[in-house]
Amino acid sequence: MPLHSAVALFYAAASLFAIVGAEDPYRFYSWNVTYGDIYPLGVRQTGLLINGQFPGPDIHSVTNDNLIINVYNNLNESFLLSWNGVQQRRNSYEDGVYGTTCPIPPGKNFTYMLQVKDQIGSFYYYPSLGFHKAAGGFGGIRILSRPRIPVPFPDPAGDYTVLIGDWYKSNHTVLYIFSN
Ligand SMILES: *[C@@H]1O[C@H](CO)[C@@H](O)[C@H](O)[C@H]1NC(C)=O
Ligand SMILES: *[C@@H]1O[C@H](CO)[C@@H](O)[C@H](O)[C@H]1NC(C)=O
Ligand SMILES: *[C@@H]1O[C@H](CO)[C@@H](O)[C@H](O)[C@H]1NC(C)=O
Ligand SMILES: *[C@@H]1O[C@H](CO)[C@@H](O)[C@H](O)[C@H]1NC(C)=O
């Protein structure tokens, strides 16, 4: 093989490697968890808000995305988020269930680092401690297919997050005490 062909082949191979080896995209979130008034049954009660929102913000992602979620716990109790249905590849310690992940102490922050991979669809996150789930702190997660792997159906005409749960007129502290 002439030298210039070998060099061209080398560059072709190198550029292919660079494309294949490109790092997966990152999405960064900063979430502030606070108490706030909610009225799920028309009665005021203390709820858990994320960035002032109840339910919390949706995560829109694409398969292979790295999700970097810095969560500030501004409650006066520990807080822990779980990522329901999201496969935790090589990082089960980020799953957010008590026993695999340490809770975020009051006044502290923790950065969850997840990579959504090999799955598409609708999922949700929720707080896994102390009946917090009855008071908010949850929201939707969407994982779309990458454009280069088209799904075999047309894009939906609309896309909404629907979260279904039980509601109470007592706050999570009271519910927790009565459940124990
Ligand atoms: C979170 O919200 C509280 C109440 O609004 C505020 O005092 C605090 O500075 C906020 N923290 C961050 C990190 O945004
Ligand atoms: C924590 O904050 C809530 C809401 O402001 C309050 O009702 C509760 O008494 C506080 N608990 C402690 C231990 O300070
Ligand atoms: C807490 O947030 C700061 C940025 O405000 C960040 O530099 C730090 O890494 C975070 N700590 C943890 C444990 O995630
Ligand atoms: C929940 O309600 C009880 C009784 O009213 C109160 O003592 C407690 O501080 C409340 N907890 C929160 C987090 O608001």
pLDDT above 70 (res 21): no
What type of residue sits at position 147?
P
State how beta strands 45-50 and 66-73 pair: unpaired
pLDDT for 143: 96
Which DSSP category does 151 fall into?
-
pLDDT for 18: 46
Decide: 46 in ligand 2 pocket, CB within 6 A.
Answer: yes
Q: Indicate the CATH number for domain 25-179.
A: 2.60.40.420
Decide: 34 in ligand 1 pocket, CB within 6 A.
Answer: yes
Tokens of 82: 């779980």
Those residues whose C-beta lies under 8 Å from the C-beta of residue 147, and which sit 6 or more positions away, are: none
pLDDT above 80 (res 7): no
Q: What is the pLDDT of residues 27-45, one digit of tens each?
A: 999 999 999 999 989 999 9
The residue nearest atom 4 of ligand 2, judged by CA position, is 35
Of ligand 1's atoms, which has the minimum distance to the CA of residue 72?
Answer: 13
Q: What is the pLDDT of residues 54-111, one digit of tens each?
A: 999 999 999 999 999 999 999 999 999 999 999 988 787 888 888 889 999 999 999 9
- Kindly report whether the peptide bond that precedes residue 55 is cis, defined as omega within 30 degrees of 0: yes
Does the global pTM surpass 0.75? yes
SS3 content of the chain, % helix, strand, coil (to 5): 20, 35, 50
Of ligand 1's atoms, which has the minimum distance to the CA of residue 33?
Answer: 1
Range among 5-9, 13-17, 20-24, 172-176 with highest mean pLDDT value: 172-176
> 39 exposed, middle or buried (CB, 10 Å; 0-12, 13-18, 19+)?
exposed
pLDDT for 8: 52
What does the pLDDT average to over 10-20? 49
Query: Ligand 2: which of 48, 76, 131 to mutate, most ligand atoms within 8 Å of CB?
Result: 76
Residue 72 CA to residue 31 CA, distance in Å, equals 6
CB-CB contact of 67 with 113 (8 Å): yes
Q: What is the pLDDT of residues 109-160, one digit of tens each?
A: 999 999 999 899 999 999 999 999 999 999 999 999 998 998 899 988 998 9
pLDDT for 90: 79
CA of 74 to the centre of ligand 1 (A): 7
Q: Where are the domains of the chain?
A: 25-179
The residue to which tokens 């280069």 are assigned: 148
pLDDT for 22: 66
